[in-house]
Structure 1
Amino acid sequence: MNSQDIKNAISGALVVDKPVGMTSHDVVQAIRNGTGLRRAGHTGTLDPRASGVLVILVGPAVRLSEYVSASDKRYQAIIRLGGSTDTFDAEGKVTPTKDPVNVTESQFEEALKTFIGEIEQTPPPYSAVKVQGRKAYEMARQGEEVDLAPRKITVHHLEVLEWTPPEVVIDVHCSSGTYVRSLANDLGVMLGCGAYLVGLRRTKSGRFSLRDSVPLRKLQEAFTAGNWYQYLIPAAEALGDWPAVELNPDEVEGVRHGHRVKVVGEPTETKVRGVSTQGELVALMELATAEDGTHEWQPKKVFFTSD
């Protein structure tokens, strides 16, 4: 196998602990440069001021992005009480509150409870959300009024980790698409004292946590040493929370051409990943019903294995 064949066979995820100060695209570019692979992409932007888990898919695994991006996220957020900003974080112009902050920890926790569950959240004006084809932050920077529609998100869990007013550290477990900056701002409005985000660390993205991550600096050292493959999580494991169906060689060949596979036993899932006997990801498949009423797995996204 020549070097080009080896590159074509590389498919998986690199879980990076992103440092503060870099954009998500900066990290993707660093990985493209380090691996020599052109196909690479992140699965959910992390603001430059935020650190933590950033999942980068490389090779054919980039086609898993829509499934990995849809996963829940978890953050540790530092919120400052006693003011508000136009960006909802410390980047913006701070408008201090006129009154002293008299919020108790129990009042703060009661306010937190109102944000748990499925809620409507308005994205910050300085965000990458597009309004009639233009990014909101570009409009906001030009002084234009940005009217963003609220969107439904789900907040699974909120908990105070440190209470050291005017700063509070909270644990946030939420659906993809949640803006923690908006959560901080909305909390400040509800409490009447103003609040904004001063620090954010993503501790989990989907099934990947900080335990699975490698600091970018360490990864770059591995690029230089040529042993970065040790950090690559195979494509079949990138969706490790999906049930796996093992396909024999004949089924692999059939699935490659879009053919269905008979379901063995009574199905308990509607989506599975088909893997070869070597453990390679062959396809993402969905439950379908055949003409005779039996169940089959219909290939939805097929990945060519490297054999």
Structure 2
Amino acid sequence: MIFGLLNIHKPTGRSSRWVVNAVSRITGVDKIGHAGTLDPLATGVLLMALGPATRLIAYLQAGTKVYQAAIHLGVSTSTYDAEGEVLATAPVPDLAPGDLQHALARFVGDIEQHPPAYSALKVAGVAAYRKARRGQTVELPSRRVQIEQIELLSWHSPVLTISVTCAPGTYIRSLAFDLGQALGCGAHISGLVRTASGHFRLEDSVGLETLAAAAGAGDWQRFLLPPDQAVLDLTPVYLDEGRTQVLRHGNPVTAPTPPLLSSGRAYDPDGRLIALVTYDAKLQVWQPDRVFDAVG
């Protein structure tokens, strides 16, 4: 049974769902999910969970994201990116790098952000972008997001390139739109690359062509990452064969030493991830939360 993760380098012009389907065709694995949608325009790290690892997607999604974004000033579009209809144009002010750094600084921290109408967020059970494409009015409520850092990488009017480190749920398209409003000229994303998701990096990702070539040679699994890479921040719990079988049947196992963290990842004697567990301090046992099917 395939049980692991793939760090895929998503190509431009394709939806995240298209990439999932492509990976399924290449690997022959039916059960695949992705952790964090990327717009068709965007490229970069798209994490895939295969087989039972799909139950770890929430942990993959929780990782800090890093993006490199090109923002085109002076042009506003319906989608906040280069794929949308141009709604307005305006002269770009004479801006020095310091002016841009000052403007960007106001978006660092916990901020209110309106998601784009053309987004995958659901409105009455329907993706907002589907409603927007039908010409329906879409009003998405603002929400708090966290941006840890914005670094100005380059400025060649009318395009600036920035690096953004942020929490999940942050829309870089909305950041570009809001920056354009703050500068009084409008703006949209003209290029976007996710360079990191949690501890997974772009330089370690694999392209679809490379994966397909490896699959043709019967060797694609060399790119498969262990599933515990999704939960490395949890306490490791190493079990002997007896306790492994007890836990596999959904029963708690003893924990002689209280852990520092109450959430754990349990391993069988061969070092394979078999369950996510929670420590019960009163009973001094690890209670199973998610037990994975036997693999090997």
TM-score (norm 1): 0.91
Mapping of residues 147-166 of structure 1, within 5 Å:
147-166=139-158
**TM-superposed deviation, 1:41:** 1.2
Say whether residues 1:173 and 2:165 are aligned partners. yes
Give the match for residue 2 of structure 2. 10
**TM-superposed deviation, 1:141:** 1.6
**Does structure 2 conserve the Cα–Cα contact (< 8 Å) formed by 1:236 and 1:275?**
no
**TM-superposed deviation, 1:168:** 0.8
**Does structure 1 conserve the Cα–Cα contact (< 8 Å) formed by 2:70 and 2:160?**
yes
Give the match for residue 228 of structure 1. 220
SS in 1 for 2:141: coil
SS in 2 for 1:89: coil
Residue from 72, 87, 90 that aligns with 1:98 = 90
Say whether residues 1:64 and 2:56 are aligned partners. yes
**TM-superposed deviation, 1:277:** 2.4
Say whether residues 1:196 and 2:188 are aligned partners. yes
Cα distance in 2, alignment partners of residues 298 and 117 from structure 1: 37
**TM-superposed deviation, 1:81:** 1.0
Q: How many residues align?
A: 296
**Does structure 2 conserve the Cα–Cα contact (< 8 Å) formed by 1:207 and 1:241?**
no
**TM-superposed deviation, 1:96:** 4.3
The range that moved more, 256-265 or 215-224, is 256-265
Give the match for residue 298 of structure 1. 287
**Does structure 2 conserve the Cα–Cα contact (< 8 Å) formed by 1:236 and 1:279?**
no
**TM-superposed deviation, 1:208:** 0.7
**TM-superposed deviation, 1:236:** 2.3
Cα 1:31/1:100, change in 2 over 3 Å: closer
What is the one-letter code of the residue matched to 1:268? Answer: L
Cα distance in 1, alignment partners of residues 224 and 198 from structure 2: 17
Cα distance in 2, alignment partners of residues 122 and 18 from structure 1: 26
In the TM superposition, what whole-angstrom CA distance separates every residue of 1:83-118 from its partner, at most 9, and x where no partner exists?
Answer: 211110111122444344223211211121111112
Residue from 263, 274, 281 that aligns with 1:282 = 274
Cα 1:98/1:14, change in 2 over 3 Å: closer
SS in 2 for 1:287: strand
**Does structure 1 conserve the Cα–Cα contact (< 8 Å) formed by 2:15 and 2:40?**
yes
Give the match for residue 232 of structure 2. 240
In the TM superposition, what whole-angstrom CA distance separates every residue of 1:166-195 from its partner, at most 9, and x where no partner exists?
Answer: 111111111111111001001111121211
What is the one-letter code of the residue matched to 1:296? Answer: V
**TM-superposed deviation, 1:237:** 2.7
Percent identity between matched residues is: 44
Cα distance in 2, alignment partners of residues 215 and 241 from structure 1: 27
What is the one-letter code of the residue matched to 1:87? Answer: T
Mapping of residues 67-78 of structure 1, within 5 Å:
67-78=59-70
SS in 2 for 1:233: coil
**Does structure 2 conserve the Cα–Cα contact (< 8 Å) formed by 1:37 and 1:58?**
yes
* Unmatched runs of 5 consecutive residues or more in structure 2: none
**Does structure 2 conserve the Cα–Cα contact (< 8 Å) formed by 1:42 and 1:55?**
yes
**Does structure 1 conserve the Cα–Cα contact (< 8 Å) formed by 2:3 and 2:295?**
no
**Does structure 2 conserve the Cα–Cα contact (< 8 Å) formed by 1:280 and 1:305?**
no
In the TM superposition, what whole-angstrom CA distance separates every residue of 1:20-65 from its partner, at most 9, and x where no partner exists?
Answer: 1111111111111122111111111111111111111111111111
**Does structure 1 conserve the Cα–Cα contact (< 8 Å) formed by 2:235 and 2:260?**
no
TM-score (norm 2): 0.95
Cα distance in 2, alignment partners of residues 65 and 71 from structure 1: 11
**TM-superposed deviation, 1:150:** 1.0
Cα 1:39/1:100, change in 2 over 3 Å: closer
In the TM superposition, what whole-angstrom CA distance separates every residue of 1:236-275 from its partner, at most 9, and x where no partner exists?
Answer: 2332343322111112111112222333434221322111
What is the one-letter code of the residue matched to 1:229? Answer: Q
Residue from 135, 141, 147 that aligns with 2:127 = 135
**Does structure 1 conserve the Cα–Cα contact (< 8 Å) formed by 2:13 and 2:40?**
yes
Residue from 248, 251, 262 that aligns with 2:243 = 251
* Unmatched runs of 5 consecutive residues or more in structure 1: 1-8
Give the match for residue 25 of structure 1. 17
